A and B are shown apart, each in its own frame.
Chain A
Amino acid sequence: MKFVKILIFTLDCVAVILLMGKNSLAAEVAIIANPSVKEDTLNKSLLYDVYRGEVRTWEDGTKIKVWDLGEKGDVRDSFYDFIGMRPSRMKSLWMRKLLTGEGDPPSEAETQEKMLKSIIDTPGAIGYVNKDLVDKRVKLLMVIEKE
Chain B
Amino acid sequence: MRRNISRFGGMILCIIFITASGTRADDLPIKIFGYFQTELRQDNDSGNPSNSFLLQQLNLFLQRDLAKDWVSFVNFEIVNSYSSFRDWGSFNLEEAWVSYRSSDQFKIKVGLQIPEFNNLNTIKNRSPLLPYIIRPVIYEASFGEFINLDLLTPTRAYTQIYGSIPSHGIKFDYAGYIGNSGDIRTSQQVRTSSRNSGQQSGVDTTNGNMVGMRLGIRYSGLKAGFSTTHEKSNTFVGVANYFKEPASRYDYVPLVRLGTDLSYNWKDFSLEGEYLSTRFTREIASGLNVKAEFFYVTLGYYFNDHLFLYGSISELNIDEFGIRVDSVNPPNDTVYSGYDIKTEVSLPTVGFSYSLNDRLTFKGQVLLANIDEKRSEPRNSVVFYRSRRDLDRYALAVSAFF
Contact = CB atoms under 8 A, between A and B. Distances in A.
A96 B126 contact: yes
B302 A96 contact: no
B104 A99 contact: no
Interface stretch (A3-11, A28-36, A86-94, A115-123): A86-94
B348 to A, nearest CB: 21
Contacts of A96: 123, 126, 129
Contacts, number: 47
A99 B263 CA distance: 20
Interface in B306-330: 306
Nearest to B169: A45
Chain A interface size band reads 10 to 19
Interface in B347-402: 355, 358, 401
Contact of B305 (A45, A55, A86): A86
A21 interface: yes
B108 to A, nearest CB: 13
Contact of B355 (A18, A54, A88): A88
B58 to A, nearest CB: 13
A86 B268 CA distance: 9
B63 A101 contact: yes
B267 interface: yes
B76 interface: no
Contact of B129 (A56, A88, A92): A92
Contact of B268 (A21, A55, A91, A99): A21
Nearest to A99: B126
A101 B123 contact: no
B71 interface: yes
Chain A residues touching B, majority SS: helix
A94 to B, nearest CB: 9
B167 to A, nearest CB: 12
Interface in B149-199: 164, 169, 171
Nearest to A104: B31
Interface residues of B, number: 27
B122 interface: yes
B305 A87 contact: yes
B104 A100 contact: no
B128 interface: yes
Nearest to B303: A17
Contacts of B164: 54
Contact of A91 (B61, B95, B265, B358): B358
A88 B267 CA distance: 13
Nearest to A96: B129
A88 B126 contact: no
Contacts of B61: 99, 101
A29 B123 CA distance: 35
A26 interface: no
Contacts of A86: 268, 302, 305
A95 interface: yes
Given A88-B355, A99-B123, A54 B302 contact: no
Contact of B122 (A56, A87, A92, A100): A100
Contacts of A100: 122-123, 126
Interface string A105-147: 0000000000000000000000000000000000000000000
B311 to A, nearest CB: 15
B346 interface: no
A18 B169 CA distance: 26
Interface in B110-144: 122-123, 126, 128-129
Contacts of A55: 104
Given A95-B126, A100-B123, 7 more contacts: A17-B268, A55-B104, A88-B305, A89-B265, A99-B123, A101-B71, A101-B97
14 contacts: A45-B169, A54-B171, A86-B268, A86-B302, A88-B306, A91-B358, A95-B129, A96-B123, A96-B126, A99-B123, A99-B128, A100-B126, A101-B95, A101-B99
Interface of A: 17-18, 21, 45, 54-56, 86-89, 91-92, 95-96, 98-101
The 4 closest A-B pairs by CB, nearest first: A101-B73, A88-B305, A99-B126, A96-B129
